[in-house]
Amino acid sequence: MMSFRKWFGSKPEGEQAALKLDADNIPNHVAVIMDGNGRWAQKRGLPRVAGHHSGMKNVKKITMAANSIGVKVLTMYAFSTENWKRPKEEVDYLMKLPMEFFPKEIDELIANNVQIRMTGWPEGLPNYTLKAVQDAIDQTKHNTGLILNFALNYGSRKEMLNGIQRLAQDMKENKVAADEVDEALFSKYLLTDPLPDPDLLIRTSGELRISNFMLWQLAYSELYFTDLCWPEFTEPHFYEAIGEYQRRARRYGGL
Ligand code: FPP
């Protein structure tokens, strides 16, 4: 078993949990449904948006934690195609977060070789949101470390239907034959292409649902649910989730 001591040998107490992890069995892709921001805020007598703000700050912490143990892709579900149903003020607030997050964090993300990506539909997002994300994507596109992938204006059923429409069009144009359609080919028509499927899905706040998130890609992922709300899910909790993943036996339908 490789050790993380080289990274954490002189690091603070909170990272002790990482030392117990098996460095040879780190999930390549961790996806997170960052739920419970609103409830976290309400419990503290704060407006819901204060929870989103704390949640945003936590994205940075968990990104650094994931990077430090060698996770390759970290997908964060930041806004779903269904979230447009929320009150306008809350949607507006969420849409402005990238403008605060990226300028503040980009230098450190670059210093840590992090690449920013987005999975979702640009259509419908305000120009200022897209610009903030696109600038971060452009500034980090040559980085080769952790991919921090924001699922933004993303919904899985829409993604699959859109993929099927494009595939059908390619079949009509004789670019693809019916017997060529297999899992690998269909995956290429999804927004997540070319990212690997998540090995581990973490959902915070005690909700036991997938909520239209990567339904195809999560087929064989390990699922980890915690009652903690997203803003209180800190580095040791993240390492605990990875530890739990390492205790699971992945069988992919075999024995
Ligand atoms: C779900 O919690 C959370 C969201 C809909 C938003 C998540 C977004 C962030 C954490 C910020 C992302 C950062 C950037 C830079 C884009 P909820 O509010 O639905 O929780 P509730 O169920 O308690 O109401």
55 CA distance to ligand 1 centroid (A)?
Answer: 7
In the prediction, which pLDDT does 240 show? 97
67 CA distance to ligand 1 centroid (A)?
Answer: 22
For the segment 155-180, what is each residue's pLDDT rounded down to a tens digit? 999 999 999 999 999 999 999 999 99
In the prediction, which pLDDT does 9 show? 46
Q: Where are the domains of the chain?
A: 28-154+199-246
What is the Cα–Cα distance from 5 to 8, expressed in whole angstroms? 5
Residue whose CA lies nearest to ligand 1 atom number 5: 79
Other beta carbons within 10 angstroms of residue 218's beta carbon come to 17
For the segment 72-104, what is each residue's pLDDT rounded down to a tens digit? 999 999 999 999 999 999 999 999 999 999 999
In the prediction, which pLDDT does 14 show? 56
What is the Cα–Cα distance from 230 to 217, expressed in whole angstroms? 22
Contact in structure between 130 and 122 (CB atoms under 8 Å): yes
- CATH superfamily entry for domain 28-154+199-246: Decaprenyl diphosphate synthase-like (3.40.1180.10)
In the prediction, which pLDDT does 136 show? 98
36 CA distance to ligand 1 centroid (A)?
Answer: 7
- Quote the tokens at residue 207: 């909700």
In the prediction, which pLDDT does 249 show? 82
Which residues in the chain land under pLDDT 50?
Answer: 6, 9-10
Q: Which amino acid is at 44?
A: R
Residue whose CA lies nearest to ligand 1 atom number 3: 35
In the prediction, which pLDDT does 211 show? 96
What is the Cα–Cα distance from 123 to 158, expressed in whole angstroms? 13
In the prediction, which pLDDT does 18 show? 86
**Axis crossing angle, helix 88-111 with helix 127-140, rounded to the nearest 10:** 10
- 3-class SS at 162? helix
Atom from ligand 1 closest to the CA of residue 51: 18
In the prediction, which pLDDT does 54 show? 98
Catalytic residue among 35, 58, 153, 197: 35
Q: Annotated catalytic, 92?
A: no
